[in-house]
Chains A and B, each alone.
Chain A
Amino acid sequence: MALLTARSLCVGYEGQAVLSEINFEINAGDYFCIIGENGSGKSTMMKTMLGLQSPISGSIEFGDGLIQNEIGYLPQQSVVQRDFPASVFEIVLSGCQNSLKKKFFYTKEHKALAMENIKRMGIEDLKDRCYRELSGGQQQRVLLARALCATKRVLLLDEPVAGLDPIVTEEMYQLIKQLNDEGLTIIMISHDMVAVKDYATRILNVNDMEGVSC
């Protein structure tokens, strides 16, 4: 059964459709890319998938026991974060907020999980460093580790290489590929057509909304 199914989905703002008649299925283990130019509606679609806004019509269904809040999300960086005084560990730990449920404080298990994902991203030595002092690539790894704390199965990456230099971009793609190989389902938003072709197993091009090509 598919993890995520879109059925004649129509997304947009305030009743105005940006994209319509979207149909796709994302299966466990996929490396699914949504590509399109700026303003093509990728972000709107992503927000709909995350449940941040509701679809105009049609539906997104979650299957195989996946819950919407269990998608690990890597957002684009915001202005606020650039001068935020927080240590890497604090930020990664905040990825566990969806498993806090009714509790107020993080448990030992949460902290262990955060530590495990910090190691997984190879940023152990940055654990106590301040987020705002890190390079762009390092910051992305921190946010990726945080996303991994929020999910065991699905990662949704919004332009994960935006603003990174070519070498770091390549490293980032390798890292994502590695996570995919470890069994995580990847959903990536991008406008980098070329790179996406090398890695993605399936591509949805929202510029020519005809459907899913492989």
Chain B
Amino acid sequence: MLDKLILYMGFPFVRYALIVGVLIALCSSLLGVTLVLKRYSFIGDGLSHVAFGALAIATVLQLTNKMIIVLPLTILFAILLLRKGQNAKIKGDAAIAMLSVGALAFGYLIMNLFPTSSNISGDVCSTLFGSTSILTLTKADVWACGILAVIVILIFILFYNRIFAVTFDENFANAVGTKVNLYNLLIATVIAVIIVLAMNLVGSLLISALVIFPALSAMSILKSFRSVTIFSAVSSMICALVGIIISILAGTPVGSTIVAVDCILFGVCYLIGRIKG
């Protein structure tokens, strides 16, 4: 088995997949804690569907670089969703549900109306579940992913204290003059970037898992924000690595394998948390 692994490591596209996979896993886990605690878990889900719809548009337009459409649209909706949450005429969760099924339906509709290849269901399936697209990454994709990932990580580290403050207590932060709206906007934008990034890895239906599971695993056994953040980042990277290696060796779909590993880790952490009390 080790021989097989070493053999595969000889191929550049496998190495690319590993690097990108681990970077994306790291990014997506960082804001997980904030999302879970702010009750925004579903925003990730809603946005991933928006990203799917945007991707459908980009596919129909036959753009070579789909990011040009997908990224701005997802960011726009992330900001809109957060705004809605604040002065809710339509309640936040209903707005997200509306948006996500709407985007999903329109995305599928557009792809069917203007088919660009003969295998529509294959296209749709790989956008939703990621399939093997990660193994077909080019060097340019890896660089793009790498740069975005580094930006996300830098933003998170620099604004770590503010993100903590805004997550723990918006009212207090507001009262002492922290620009809460600005940081919420920043958080929304970063989430959108992460979702677009992670879509390459696990497909749009499974992204939320990548964002939420590491955070939940960490939260069930650890007690400080810093340790929770570090643990979820590290465990997310390890799960992605293990998932990708298993998928290469066993020939399973990349995205769902990674998410399955994340699920197992969550189960273990939850049990440990329960036993420790």
Chain A residues with a Cβ under 8 A of chain B: 50-52, 68-71, 73, 75, 78, 80-81, 83-87, 90-91, 94-95, 97-98, 100, 104-106, 128-130, 133, 146-147, 150, 156
Within B162-210, the residues touching A (CB, 8 Å) are 162, 164-165, 167-169, 171-178
Interface bits B16-52 vs A (CB < 8 Å: 1, else 0): 0000000000000000010001110000000000000
Shortest beta-carbon distance, A126 to chain B, in Å?
12
User: Which residues from chain A contact B167 at a C-beta distance below 8 Å?
Assistant: 80
Cross-chain contact A75 with B171 (CB below 8 angstroms): yes
Does B158 have its Cβ within 8 Å of any Cβ on chain A? Answer: yes
User: Which residues from chain B contact A146 at a C-beta distance below 8 Å?
Assistant: 172
Cross-chain contact B175 with A52 (CB below 8 angstroms): yes
Rounded to whole angstroms, the CA-CA distance of A124 and B161 in the bound complex is: 22
Cross-chain contact B164 with A94 (CB below 8 angstroms): yes
Cross-chain contact A73 with B161 (CB below 8 angstroms): no
The DSSP consensus for interface residues of chain B is helix
Rounded to whole angstroms, the CA-CA distance of A13 and B176 in the bound complex is: 21
Rounded to whole angstroms, the CA-CA distance of A103 and B269 in the bound complex is: 36
A86 with B225: in contact, given A91-B168, A94-B161 (CB under 8 Å)?
yes
User: Which residues from chain B contact A78 at a C-beta distance below 8 Å?
Assistant: 169, 171
A93's nearest neighbour on chain B, judged by CB, is B161
Choose among A50, A71, A84, A104 the residue that contacts B168 (Cβ–Cβ < 8 A): A84
27 interchain pairs, CB-CB under 8 A: A52-B171, A52-B174, A71-B175, A73-B175, A75-B169, A80-B37, A80-B38, A83-B37, A84-B168, A85-B219, A85-B223, A86-B168, A87-B224, A90-B226, A91-B168, A94-B161, A94-B164, A94-B165, A94-B172, A97-B162, A97-B165, A98-B176, A104-B161, A105-B160, A105-B161, A130-B224, A150-B172
Give the size of the chain B interface in residues (CB under 8 angstroms). 30
Rounded to whole angstroms, the CA-CA distance of A130 and B178 in the bound complex is: 24
Does B222 have its Cβ within 8 Å of any Cβ on chain A? Answer: yes
A69's nearest neighbour on chain B, judged by CB, is B177
Does B104 have its Cβ within 8 Å of any Cβ on chain A? Answer: no
User: Which residues from chain A contact B175 at a C-beta distance below 8 Å?
Assistant: 50-52, 69, 71, 73, 75, 156
Does B228 have its Cβ within 8 Å of any Cβ on chain A? Answer: yes
A98's nearest neighbour on chain B, judged by CB, is B176
Does B159 have its Cβ within 8 Å of any Cβ on chain A? Answer: yes
Cross-chain contact A85 with B222 (CB below 8 angstroms): yes
Shortest beta-carbon distance, B171 to chain A, in Å?
5
A130 with B223: in contact, given A75-B169, A80-B39, A97-B178 (CB under 8 Å)?
yes
User: Which residues from chain A contact B172 at a C-beta distance below 8 Å?
Assistant: 73, 75, 94-95, 146-147, 150
Cross-chain contact B168 with A150 (CB below 8 angstroms): no
Rounded to whole angstroms, the CA-CA distance of A85 and B232 in the bound complex is: 13
Cross-chain contact A94 with B177 (CB below 8 angstroms): no
Interface bits B208-241 vs A (CB < 8 Å: 1, else 0): 0000000000110011111010000000000000
A129 with B161: in contact, given A73-B176, A78-B171, A80-B168 (CB under 8 Å)?
no
Cross-chain contact B176 with A86 (CB below 8 angstroms): no
Rounded to whole angstroms, the CA-CA distance of A52 and B161 in the bound complex is: 21
Shortest beta-carbon distance, A18 to chain B, in Å?
18
User: Which residues from chain A contact B226 at a C-beta distance below 8 Å?
Assistant: 87, 90
Within B143-161, the residues touching A (CB, 8 Å) are 158-161
